[in-house]
Structure 1
Amino acid sequence: MILTSTRLILRHFQEGDEQALFDLLSDKEVNTFLPMFPLQNLDEAKHYLKEHYLDKYQKNLGYYYAICLKENNLPIGYIQMSESASHDFGYALRKEYWHQGIMSEAATIFMEMLKQEGVSFITATHDVFNINSGKVMQKIGMTYQYSYTERWMPKDKDVTFRMYQSNFKKPQDWVYLEYWNKYPHFVEEL
C-alpha cells in the first residue's frame, strides 16, 4: 500500500534504497536516539535493508514505510509500527528535514492507515532528552502515560523513556503496561 499526503509518499523500502538508508542511518546526530549504532558503509546498509525491511515484507510482519518527498520518491526517513505486542510506533528523519512538519504529516497519514487496518492501539517511546520526538507524539494526538528506565542495548546505557499511547479500538483509558511492569517507572508532570 502506498500512502500520500500534500508533500509526501509513504511506500515500502525497495532494493536501490541502500544509499538513502545509509544517508539516514549513518548520521551520528540522527542516530543519537536510535536503538542502534550508525551504519558504517553501504554493505551494512544493504544488510539492514534486507533484514529490517525486505525480509519483514516477505513475512508480512508489522508496518514499515519509507518517507519520501513527492518530488523524487527517494527515502528521507522511515516510519513504522513493529509486529511486537506493544505495537511500537517509531520514526526517523534526515536532519536537513527536521522542524518542517514532515514527520507530523507522515505520522498523521500513517496513523489513519493503521486505524483503517484495524490496529487497536499504538505505543511510542522517546528518550527524555529527545524533546522533539515527544513534540511529534503530542502533535499527532498521542497521550503521555508514564516514564521508565531501561538498560538500552546494544548501546549498553541506561535510558529514561517517556511512553505515549493512542487507542483506536481500545477504551481511551486503557494503558499498555509491559514497560511499567518490567522496568523502574514513574509518572511525570509534563
Structure 2
Amino acid sequence: MNKTTRFDTREHLLDTGELLCLQRGFNGMGLIELLKQAEVPKGSFYYYFPSKEAFGVTMLERYFARYHQRLQAYLDDHQGNSRQRMLDYYRQSLSNCQESSFAGCLSVKLSAEVCDLSEAMRSALHAGSVALIATLKSTLDKAQQQETLSRDINSAACAQILYTLWLGASLQSKICRDDTPLQNACDEMTRILRQV
C-alpha cells in the first residue's frame, strides 16, 4: 500500500465517519456501519486507528483544524475593518446553515454527547474551541487597533462570549429547525461589538 493510498483511505474513513456522526451522533455510528459505508475492511480501520475513540479524536482534530483554517482565511482576507469582517463571517455562517437545512456542525452534534463519555474527545473539543476563540480575540484586538471597536470591550471575554453565543444558537436552531436563534445571535453580536 503506497503512501497516497494509505492517506486517501484514512481520509475517506474520516469523511464517512463525519457524515455518519452528523446523522446519528458518535455513539449511534456503529463501526460495522462505518466500514460498510466506507467500503473499507476492518483491518484497515485498525491500521489507522487503535480504537473508535481514537478515531473520534482524530475526526474532531481534523474538523477543528479545517474550521480554524476557514475562519482564519476569512478574517485575514481583507484590508479593511476587522469588526465588520467578523460580523460578516457570522452572517455568512447563518446563510450556510440555512442552505444546509441545519445539518449542523460536528462540534454542536458531539459536544454534549461525548464530553462525559470520553476524556480524550472532550479534550479535542476543548482544544479546538480554544484555538477558535484565540482567533476571534486576535480579530477583536485588531478591530480595537483600527478604532472600529470600543476599547472598553475586553477582547478575551468577548471572544469567549461570541463563540458560546454562536454554539448555543446553533444548537437551538438545530432543535427547533428554525434559523431565528442564529439570526438573534447575529443581531446580538452586532450590539455587543459596539463601534467607537
Do they fold alike, i.e. is TM over 0.5? Answer: no
- Say which structure is richer in helix: 2
Q: TM-score, normalised by structure 1?
A: 0.32
- Say which structure is richer in strand: 1
Give 1 or 2 for the bigger CA radius of gyration.
2
